[in-house]
Structure 1
Amino acid sequence: MAVLIEGISVVVRCNAIVAAYKGGPEQFTAEVPNGSLRADGQIAAVTFMHPTDVEQYVRLLEARGLVFQDAEGTHDIVVVDQRTGFCNPCTWADFGTTPWNGDQSRLVAVCALDAGQPQKVVVPEGWAYETSLTARHRFVENDPVSEGLRFVRRDGDVNVYLDEKTGKEFYSVQGVGVGSPVTH
């Protein structure tokens, strides 16, 4: 099996959650900060839109007993970008794409412990391809205004932009430079 990778996903070995996470799997599940958790029994994944959120979540996981990196590379946790794959070298998992429901025009990014096995993709509860980050994401390399987006408001530290062609809103954290994700 495999888990869906969207945005920037934090992937964790399930056996590490059982063996080392303070409070075990129940506490791990309770501390997931959003509704994106999915697991295939070997790995679990949680999606974030911004690197700062990823860093905070990885710190929480480490505080609960998991190991992000050691001398040999990633240990219990690996960060995976939907577009580019592993953010750090990882020898214990595989990243790639697979057709969603056999449709070659709908590729989804996945992570699995054993890429040699037939891949059923586990997605978050309520996930649908048509409304997913996979189907609708945009990645802004520089100034969002140059990409046809108009700034409309600030919500805390999040800038909200409007795509005037589609009417959809996109988000970015203020102060993030080149390469910041803006997603819907």
Structure 2
Amino acid sequence: MAVPVEGFSVLVRNVTLEQIHPGGLSGYAEACPNQTFCTDGHISRIGFMNALDLANFLDQLHEYGLSSAAEDPNRDITVVCQEDGLDSPCDWLQLGRHSSGVVAAWLAGRKPGEIVGPEGWTPAPSITQVSKVEARKRLKFLRIDGPIDIFFDTETEKEVYVGRTNLLPDEDSHDDFPGRSASDLYDWGTALANPYLPFQRSPLDPTTKTAQQELCRAVRLLTASIQLNSKNWAACWILGLTFRMRGQHESEYKALGRAYRLNPEHKDVLREFCLSCMTLGYGEEAVQVGWQATELDPRDAGLLSNLGLALLVSGEVIQAERVVQRALHMQPNDAITQNLLGYVQDVASGKKPRPTCFPPT
């Protein structure tokens, strides 16, 4: 028996998985990040359509102690590229074209026999693989559908589907979306992120699995847009808020800081960057940005409250109380400001410890 070889295939002997993988063969199957796991009883195959996804999966296997050293013909893991074949010679693997027309792999010394693919798999012509250079010439990004990137191949005039398991960007993420402008990528990324962002009247829950997947895709699209147009402060701002919804606060701070440097005259940029500084405990920077924001719009009580909180985080408790009192005087019925003033006064009186970041950890 044999397994199909499509895209990038990771091949491991079952006996090796039982000996080394923490969950054995069944654990390996459960850990498959997509729907491509299959086994012919002797070797197991998991496939990828993207080199970055492949690399991330190999890193996981290396952590379990499986080796893919090219110089070892008896290594635990062998990678086969549909177009290029074996990455290097392997003693235990046989590769060839099956009678059904697809490329297949089987254990050396055995006959290929029937191909065993993933559930629902049927023999089909080879999956097209093109280099990044070819992709830029031939493919035009259309849309994202779940974990699938969909392109139009201008040479074949057909849609091309690329399954992804890693939804975050890499250094060349703009190459993920050939044929599209920075503006297109910004629009799509913003459309995905917007329903979960805090400035919406009724934002959706960002903690669900679906939300986190959509926010991941928004990060990819916005990152790619910024790589093509590094001056788009709005893309940096939305990207920072998207990172916040994912709980990635260091990345949030970097993206919002970039938006701030590009557009330090926009009060919403300053507002969110001030909050980001406080999240990481950068009190002095938060105060600097907070003062700058209130100078832009002295009548905005919310900006004053943020400044008061920044002063509290930086250790200027007396000044913090004065600023929050000013904010409450501007909006005496605002419950959030009332609670903040009570919190600051509790810190001033010693009832509560002073936070060094906000929210306190």
What is the TM-score when the length of structure 1 is the normalising length?
A: 0.75
Alignment equivalent of 1:111, drawn from 83, 102, 105: 105
Q: 8 Å contact 2:70–2:88 — kept in the other structure?
A: no
CA distance in 2, matches of 1:2, 1:51: 23
**Identity fraction in percent:** 28
Code of the aligned partner of 1:69: A
**Shift in Å, 1:176:** 5.3
**Shift in Å, 1:30:** 1.3
Give a deviation string over 1:9-39, Cα, whole Å, max 9, x none: 0001100011111122222111110110010
CA distance in 1, matches of 2:121, 2:106: 19
**Shift in Å, 1:70:** 7.2
> Partner of 2:127 in structure 1?
137
Q: 8 Å contact 1:3–1:45 — kept in the other structure?
A: yes
Q: Which has the higher helix share?
A: 2
- The RMSD of aligned alpha carbons is 3.0
> Partner of 2:137 in structure 1?
146
1:27 aligns with 2:21: no
Q: 8 Å contact 1:74–1:88 — kept in the other structure?
A: no
1:174 aligns with 2:170: no
Q: 1:25 to 1:41 in 2, by over 3 A?
A: same
**Shift in Å, 1:87:** 1.2
Give a deviation string over 1:53-93, Cα, whole Å, max 9, x none: 11111111121232222753351110001122101221211
CA distance in 2, matches of 1:137, 1:70: 25
1:1-184 to structure 2, matched below 5 A, reads 1-69=1-69, 72-100=72-100, 107-114=101-108, 116-129=110-123, 134-135=124-125, 137-141=127-131, 142-144=133-135, 146-147=137-138, 149-153=139-143, 160-163=150-153, 166-171=157-162, 174=173
Q: 1:15 to 1:159 in 2, by over 3 A?
A: closer
Q: 8 Å contact 1:95–1:112 — kept in the other structure?
A: yes
Give a deviation string over 1:129-148, Cα, whole Å, max 9, x none: 3xxxx52632334243533x
Q: Which has the higher contact order (CA 8 A, sep 6+)?
A: 1
**Shift in Å, 1:117:** 1.6
The SS at the match of 2:3 is strand
Code of the aligned partner of 1:50: N
Q: 8 Å contact 1:93–1:113 — kept in the other structure?
A: yes
Code of the aligned partner of 2:53: D
CA distance in 2, matches of 1:57, 1:117: 29
Q: 1:118 to 1:16 in 2, by over 3 A?
A: closer
Q: Which has the larger radius of gyration?
A: 2
CA distance in 1, matches of 2:10, 2:127: 18
**Shift in Å, 1:162:** 1.7
CA distance in 1, matches of 2:96, 2:137: 31
The SS at the match of 2:36 is coil
* Structure 1: runs of 5 or more not aligned: 101-106, 178-184
CA distance in 1, matches of 2:158, 2:98: 30
Q: Which has the higher strand share?
A: 1
What is the TM-score when the length of structure 2 is the normalising length?
A: 0.41
CA distance in 2, matches of 1:38, 1:12: 11
